[in-house]
Structure 1
Amino acid sequence: MYSSSPLQGSAQESLQTIATPSNGTSQHPPSSSQGKPARLAPLDIPIPPKLVANKDGSLPAEAGSGSDSDVDTDCAPRRGFQWSNLANPEFYPEITLRRAAFFFIWTIPHIIITAYNGSITSNKLIDRVRLSSKNCILFDMASILVFMSPTFMLLLQRTFLPRFVKLEKNIHAHKVASYTLLFWSALHVGIYYDRYIDASHPKIKDGKLVPGTPLVKNLFKLFIGDVEIVRRRQFELFYYVHHLFVVIIVFTFLHRDNQLAYKYLGGPLALYVLDRLYRSLRSIVGKSPIRAVVQHPSGVVEIQMDKKIVGVRPGQYVKVYCPSVSMLQWHPLTISSAPEEELLTVHFRLEGTWTRNLAKRLGCDFDKDARGSSVQNVMPLLYIDGPYTAPTEHFFNYEVGVLIAAGIGVTPAASVLRSVYFQWIRDRYAMNTKKVYLFWVYRDIGTLEWFKDLLVALDEEGLSSIVQVRTYFTGKIPDSRIPQLAPPDDKFGDQVINTSIGTKSYVGRPDFNSILESLGELHPGQRIGTFFCGPKPMARKVRREAHKWDGILRKKSNTKIDFCSETFS
């Protein structure tokens, strides 16, 4: 492990440091014999101290924090739902072979449960449907408990299963189980509603369906709180309402035929409770002293802290808990540092109450010059739970890796590139990955400053032979920067502009159709791992292109393109 990182060491010169611990500890740990190469001299490039308004008076659009936050970092302005979107094929999720296989496998146990309970000829048809719906509800609840046991999912990542199953998609799997649960619950409640209004059934009296009534009410509240518009605009409400699942489980055991609930939920509930207890203990042990807080342009904050967690892989994320900001909320933030580094670094962008309050608690002030803000002497206490699995942790399984990021979605890519840097320094000939591409789409001119030290280090250490970075600026071009024509043989873009860190950036959105075609021609017969992090609309477009060229290149040159993504909405 490297005790000092040149990728962190330049932060003091190139970025504005807002806070350091009051105990006199250095911002960065002392260098070791494997520390900073002499050639990595940081550049003294000034950066904007605050958010700068556009000419029309509007501020640059903000995005969220980490892989699982409520964010829209697409290159176009955020737009609400429009009925015309229904006619656009790109509005709908792509039906892939892997997704079709998952839904097929998911329906099998429901078919078996329905067929078994429907074969009981001693009951009436409505009783068969009632019994089938009850069993399916309990099966779905048990599945959700398993899907939402991340430590168990992480253990499964160490097996052969990731070859066939994307275990990092457990959140999506729990959504599918939830929608299925909603269907069976509506069917089950509908049957009892029919019995409720039928006076010939004396078992239900005085308008009471205890404990079914509070069970249904809380389930309804949970699903209302999970609506996308609520999750986006009121994440705190979504977070708190989601914890009604505890009440739902309690009333499920109090419901009729609770022996059936024990059979279905006993094991998964025990697994979930153990997983939760383990994560709670791990977060207590993972209390990480903050070493430095850096305020970046475009409303981004970087936190550097001691690494108290183990088993970190590139691009994974952690959940952060700050009692002085919120007593209950844990927020996911992607790790932007490399596993080889001693410090644990996360970047987050101001979006929502929690991130803004955390930035304020850390001493950041984006409304005025950071250099004039007061130094925060007492750092808040942070509890770190993790790491949690992410697609990019499999990046080094490929000889050719492609990273595609939009806005703050570059954080897992930064972690991968930092790890590439350290592997290159340690033993470049032992690296499994031979070629790395980064395509980073951004719309604010100060965005590249977030990882300026990383981009400079990659260039100065001669990694340009294996790492190619392509950035795409989609915002309004400043008057001080005049676009220039790209070389005629450049297949990655038509126009370029000079950036604030001395590099060139393409103008406009990348054409992934031609990019993937070019990559297939450059690496025939290879298996290309493509990893995306950004908003869902962009993910759908890139996924379609990746799957299209995967089919074409397999037939043409036996080149395969594996696509993995983590998205935020």
Structure 2
Amino acid sequence: MENKGRTRRQGEDMERVIEVVHVSAHLVNVVNFSVRYSEEFPSLNVARYRGEDPRLIILTTVPGITGILLVLILFLMFTASSYCIRVSNYEIFWYTHNLFIVFYIILIVHVVGGALKYQTNFEAHPPGCLRANQTNPDKTEEESGQAEGDVWSCREEARFQPNSPETWLWVSGPLCLYCAERLYRYIRSNSPVTIVAVVRHPCDVIELRMLKKDFNAHPGQYIVLNCPSVSSFENHPFTLTACPTEKKETLGIHLRVVGDWTERFTELLLPDPGAESEILPMVQQRRYPKLYVDGPFGSSSQEVFNYEVSLCVAGGIGVTPFACVLHALLDGWRHFRLRRLYFVWVCRELQSFYWFAELLCALHHKLWQENRPDYLNLQLFVSQTDGLQNISEERYRPLSSRLMIGRPRWKLLFEEIGRTNKHKRVGVFCCGPKGISRTLHRLCNSDRYSGTTFEFNKESFS
């Protein structure tokens, strides 16, 4: 995922450079249209007369007007997709991002103006020939009276015709595929899900349990939520923290209340700010807002089970992709290669660990009962020390011995994993701050771990 993300960013940068060169070349062309107006072939010109103001050419022709609109839309899309705008105001990013539909429509119209032309009568007027009733000044009268097929004689004036627009040939195919995919996704998600449980966790995190008919998902996948009561057009991705199984039909997510959309959504789910949770029987289900689920969609976290040894690193709410992995282990999934899991969770506040404290403790007890205590190597790190005594609760006692203050010493961790798993491929999965992902990526690329190969995978929705 990290390599794919880097490739995508490089591709976007290259697109920006190409677009700048493209627009600059057109501006040079507009100036040439005015300066090099052809008196000999008036129909070939884009300008109406020699010396016409290039700005007037741009503002009074179809290619010029549509070109301005295309550049404006691209500028809005590029600037609104920057990280700072996505984080501070997601709505701006979302609505400008969907301008791509308008962009493609204008792109098809852009070439209709007929700025590019070609000659249609080469046989009657070959390039370089003299026009009708003219002679070559360099030739004698005898030479000028040669046969009609002479290269210097023209039987008629040159005629020009605009090129047939072909942009639609290249755009229509991808647009049809996109529309077909959107239609399929609409049909797949047109039935609202049933919300069966809403739980408020510490640090502004809400757990949502839902029920959807014929919904199948694998650990590590994510879904896209749409709540018309909040916004009819906005769709937000959330990683599944619980997948439906034979024993449990519900699917679950954990979302952090950050931003306008999550705040409004939380107010609809829990109107009472003091309510910690609301779990109602199906017969007493109150009227929650309509919620539509699209998905599931694949992500790099699905590959955790395809390694014999995996290292999962989470930062804060970035634990959600791996919570579903832990649920799968707790539910007794057996159809995977994973033989050992290193799980590192870094949080600023101690209360964040309570999001999945019961899950971690339940998995700990299960592995001890099965005589597999080394299957899961759990390490919890907290950077703020306020209230550390609270984790000494009896039901969370297995976590207290694995809680450390500060930040992980990544190099030592990699060296330990390398010594313990010589000549093996270790999958490294990260969902968290950029600082952690950069460090892990750099360590994975270094070659000093007793022949152990570390393969880096990163998940991010930002």
Q: TM-score range by the shorter chain?
A: 0.7 to 0.9
Preserved contact between residue 437 and residue 467 of structure 1 (Cα < 8 Å): yes
1:269 alignment counterpart? 175
* Residues 390 and 431 of structure 1, relative CA distance in 2, 3 Å threshold: closer
Preserved contact between residue 531 and residue 563 of structure 1 (Cα < 8 Å): yes
1:279 alignment counterpart? 185
Does residue 419 of structure 1 match 2:328?
Answer: yes
1:193 alignment counterpart? 27
Preserved contact between residue 319 and residue 330 of structure 1 (Cα < 8 Å): yes
* Residues 436 and 359 of structure 1, relative CA distance in 2, 3 Å threshold: same
Alignment of 1:450-469 (within 5 A): 450-462=355-367, 464-469=373-378
Alignment of 1:242-321 (within 5 A): 242-256=97-111, 259-285=165-191, 287-308=192-213, 310-321=215-226
2:381 alignment counterpart? 472
* Residues 436 and 371 of structure 1, relative CA distance in 2, 3 Å threshold: closer
Alignment of 1:61-80 (within 5 A): none
1:540 to partner: Cα distance: 0.5
1:203 alignment counterpart? 46
Distance in 1 (CA, whole Å) between partners of 2:22 and 2:109 is 17
Distance in 2 (CA, whole Å) between partners of 1:265 and 1:431 is 42
1:45 alignment counterpart? none
Task: Give the total of aligned pairs.
Answer: 377
Q: Say which of 256, 260, 265 aligns to 1:349.
A: 256
- What is the letter of the counterpart of residue 385 of structure 2? K
- What is the letter of the counterpart of residue 400 of structure 1? V
1:325 alignment counterpart? 230
Distance in 2 (CA, whole Å) between partners of 1:401 and 1:177 is 30
Distance in 2 (CA, whole Å) between partners of 1:347 and 1:475 is 22
Distance in 2 (CA, whole Å) between partners of 1:169 and 1:388 is 19
Deviations 1:435-465 (A, max 9, x none): 1111000111211111122112112212533
2:456 alignment counterpart? 563
Alignment of 1:109-508 (within 5 A): 173-198=7-32, 199-200=34-35, 201=37, 202-204=45-47, 205-208=56-59, 209-256=64-111, 259-285=165-191, 287-308=192-213, 310-340=215-245, 341-363=248-270, 368=274, 370=276, 377-423=286-332, 431-462=336-367, 464-478=373-387, 480=389, 498=392, 501-502=396-397, 503-504=399-400, 505-508=403-406
- What is the letter of the counterpart of residue 213 of structure 1? I
1:468 to partner: Cα distance: 2.0
1:310 to partner: Cα distance: 3.8
Equivalent position SS for 1:184? helix
1:18 alignment counterpart? none
2:432 alignment counterpart? 534
- What is the letter of the counterpart of residue 538 of structure 1? I
Distance in 2 (CA, whole Å) between partners of 1:307 and 1:423 is 23
Equivalent position SS for 2:287? coil
Deviations 1:311-362 (A, max 9, x none): 4121111100000011110000110013534211000001110011111110
1:480 to partner: Cα distance: 4.5
Equivalent position SS for 1:461? helix
Root-mean-square deviation (CA), in Å?
Answer: 2.7
- What is the letter of the counterpart of residue 244 of structure 1? L
Give me the identity figure in percent.
31
* Residues 169 and 321 of structure 1, relative CA distance in 2, 3 Å threshold: farther
Preserved contact between residue 73 and residue 103 of structure 2 (Cα < 8 Å): yes
Alignment of 1:47-58 (within 5 A): none
- What is the letter of the counterpart of residue 446 of structure 1? Q
Equivalent position SS for 1:195? helix
Preserved contact between residue 304 and residue 344 of structure 1 (Cα < 8 Å): yes
Distance in 2 (CA, whole Å) between partners of 1:419 and 1:371 is 24
Distance in 1 (CA, whole Å) between partners of 2:15 and 2:110 is 16
* Residues 262 and 172 of structure 1, relative CA distance in 2, 3 Å threshold: farther
2:148 alignment counterpart? none
- What is the letter of the counterpart of residue 102 of structure 2? V
Distance in 1 (CA, whole Å) between partners of 2:428 and 2:366 is 25
Distance in 2 (CA, whole Å) between partners of 1:395 and 1:454 is 18
1:369 to partner: Cα distance: 6.0
Q: Report 1 or 2 for greater relative contact order, CA contacts < 8 Å, sequence distance ≥ 6.
A: 1
1:172 to partner: Cα distance: 5.7
2:135 alignment counterpart? none
Distance in 2 (CA, whole Å) between partners of 1:382 and 1:371 is 18
Deviations 1:355-374 (A, max 9, x none): 111111101655x46379x9
1:432 to partner: Cα distance: 2.3
- What is the letter of the counterpart of residue 186 of structure 1? V
1:231 to partner: Cα distance: 1.5
Preserved contact between residue 535 and residue 567 of structure 1 (Cα < 8 Å): no
Deviations 1:263-291 (A, max 9, x none): 43232222222111111111114x21001
Distance in 2 (CA, whole Å) between partners of 1:259 and 1:311 is 45
* Residues 301 and 196 of structure 1, relative CA distance in 2, 3 Å threshold: same
* Residues 277 and 175 of structure 1, relative CA distance in 2, 3 Å threshold: farther
- What is the letter of the counterpart of residue 302 of structure 2? E
1:248 to partner: Cα distance: 0.6
Distance in 1 (CA, whole Å) between partners of 2:461 and 2:406 is 22
Does residue 522 of structure 1 match 2:420?
Answer: yes
Larger Rg: 2
Distance in 2 (CA, whole Å) between partners of 1:272 and 1:259 is 22
* Residues 392 and 471 of structure 1, relative CA distance in 2, 3 Å threshold: same
- What is the letter of the counterpart of residue 361 of structure 1? L
- What is the letter of the counterpart of residue 307 of structure 2? Y
2:125 alignment counterpart? none
Preserved contact between residue 295 and residue 364 of structure 1 (Cα < 8 Å): no
Question: Where in structure 1 are there 5+ consecutive unaligned residues?
Answer: 1-165, 482-496
Distance in 1 (CA, whole Å) between partners of 2:324 and 2:388 is 33
Distance in 2 (CA, whole Å) between partners of 1:333 and 1:499 is 31
Distance in 2 (CA, whole Å) between partners of 1:472 and 1:191 is 55
Deviations 1:168-215 (A, max 9, x none): 976665544333222222111112222334522551554421321211
Does residue 552 of structure 1 match 2:439?
Answer: no
* Residues 499 and 559 of structure 1, relative CA distance in 2, 3 Å threshold: farther
Distance in 2 (CA, whole Å) between partners of 1:567 and 1:400 is 22
Preserved contact between residue 204 and residue 256 of structure 2 (Cα < 8 Å): yes
* Residues 173 and 384 of structure 1, relative CA distance in 2, 3 Å threshold: farther
